[in-house]
Amino acid sequence: MGMSKRREAPDWSSVDRQRLRVAERNAARELPASWLPIVKAEADSQTVRYGSGVLRDRVAAREVWMHWMAEYGGAQHADLSDAQIKAEARRHASDAKDLDAGLLAGGMTGWPEWARIDAFCVAREVVAPSPMLGLAGCAARVQCQYWWRRALRKMIARKCERGALSLGIVSKPAGQPYASNSAVFRRLDQNARNTDAMRHTFMENDEGARASLLDLAQRSTANRAIRRGELMTRIRGCEETADAQGHRGLFVTLTCPSRFHSTLRTGERNPKHDGSTPRDAQLWLRRQWARARAALHRAGYVVYGFRVAEPHHDGCTHWHALIWSPVNVWRVARILKRYWLQLEGDEPGARKYRTAFKVMDKGGAAGYIAKYVAKNIDDFEVGEHLDEYSDVPIQGDVFEGVDIRPSHRVEAWASTWGIRQFQAIGQPPVTVWRELRRIPESVARSFGGIGSPLFKAWHAAQRVGGVLASWSRYVAAQGGMGCGRTARLALAVDRRRIAGLYGEAERACPVGVLFVGRVAHSERQLWRRVEGGAGSSGLVPAPPRTRVNNCTHNRRGLGAGTEAVAALRRFGLLPVSSDGPMRRAARWFEPFGG
């Protein structure tokens, strides 16, 4: 027998070097180019001491590259052109048609079919359509390239911005406050595409009047100036109500624990940051506010006003709120402070910086919050942005020949993370206020004359000659602040089955204002799309859009959805112990047959 050849030990030094090079090449293909120098510096900092010298630990350096690949692989899609995103959307929509989603096998319930749709979307890193849309609606969406365009754009934007936050790119010292430059340019490009599309889309109403969709949008709250003006009208109305009744105003600043901050004041990365995004911070603020609001309700304290969500220089969300109350406002402040220190309240600086309160002087509250409204809309008469978490003001700059104002960055931040910037507190619904403007005076007078609540509210919502609309008079006609669902006037809706891109769905279409069981019908014009601004072809009804109150109130039981909830928990799609998601999911799956 021949002697077996002795196997030589591999040269691990060369193997580790080759693996490190492969990891770096893969990252160069999967990560944005602007990230690579920062990740490389982090990988180069991984060293190990051998004897008297310090050498680079290639295994640890490779793990750094692999970590960023695992978390943000594919983030280079931020540089994809719109045509490339459309091509990806067409491919995913074509692949989804092979699912045969929506075709129920014998005896198969709806939730396994939705689980297949969910797994298909998760594999492509996008959020699946909500089950409350119905199985057919979910299937129609994942098979539509236009749905995939929106989903891919949202996924790419959030993945890239999350990586930029973790790398410390989003900060005032780094020159990219509130949002990264890529997020800002992405939002500017989106606005430009939308504007161009609206400019070339023409509408015609029942009376034969024609206008471009852009002209119509400029007459609505989509116009920044109109949006700011309406917000200030409502804020001024709150102040007038408070001054007339002797209520004190309290200006409140509410912030998050330090783990939500990705960057320190100096621009260095925060070692306490746990990967939370501005959206996570917004959800934390909303959850604590819900708890505090419930405590205020239990104590019998009525509060009303507005809150504004805006970013710190590193993108972390914080709130400014201007609230009034009939009770001593310091009682309200104590409840808010208690709930804001309920979690992680023992960390250094929490008691000093987590909350801040300032009692407003009579007649000056609306002007105080006006700058916060303008900062988040169009920088109207705002000199510079001051951030409590940054030592220097945030000003505009010019990048690649584009003048970028701070409000552009704030808009990109809110759009990327899906954050609602303005929220009314304890006030009657604004949808009724807007619907009253569609009601003729003769109809308003027919509901009890000029002394009826409906006519008073109608008159308060109108601007006639030099008399401005008055939010305070509208609130008084509705029954006062804090009336909630006991308001005298409500939105009257008609439930209709409307055919859309994803099938038929029942919609609540506003038709007027409901008062003591009667409906004051509004005058509405049906606008239809016409091709090229001339001729009429492909007329499509444009139902009005309205908002609903999503405050927690459950009037429906679990029903047949309990089995679906239990199955989702087994799949890890719902938390093991959470009553709220269980009730919601039970309602979602009722249309699926359990």
Query: Can you spell out the DSSP letters for 375-423?
Result: HTTT-TT---B--TTSSS-B--EEETTEEE-HHHHHHHHHHHHT---EE
Q: In degrees rounded to 5, what are phi and psi of residue 514?
A: -95, 125
Distance CA 324, CA 248 (A): 6
Say which residue the tokens 């793990």 belong to: 63
- Buried b vs exposed e over 521-554: b needs ≥16 C-beta within 10 Å? ebebeebebbeeeeeeeeeeeeebeeeeeeeeee
Q: How far apart are the first and last CA of the chain?
A: 72
Residue 280 tokens, joined: 């996570």
Strand ranges of the sheet holding 503-515, from the earlier edge strand across to the other edge: 489-500, 503-515, 518-521
- Helix orientation angle between 278-299 and 329-340, rounded to the nearest 10 degrees: 130
Q: Which amino acid is at 181?
A: N
Q: Known catalytic residues?
A: 368, 372
On whether the CB atoms of residues 138 and 128 are closer than 8 A, the answer is yes
Distance CA 203, CA 221 (A): 18
Nearest to 110 by CA among 135, 130, 79: 135
Q: How many CB atoms lie within 10 A of CB 97?
A: 11
Run of H or E including 187: helix 181-199
Residue 489 tokens, joined: 């006037």
Among positive and negative, which fits the CA dihedral 526, 531, 534, 536? negative
Distance CA 67, CA 82 (A): 29
Distance CA 501, CA 142 (A): 12
CA dihedral 74, 79, 84, 89 (to 10 degrees): 50
Run of H or E including 489: strand 489-500
Distance CA 122, CA 128 (A): 7
Residue 217 tokens, joined: 């949008």
Residues in the chain: 594
Give the single-character DSSP code of 336: H
Nearest to 198 by CA among 212, 209, 188, 186: 212
- Residue 174, exposed/middle/buried by CB under 10 A (0-12, 13-18, 19+)? middle
Distance CA 154, CA 127 (A): 9
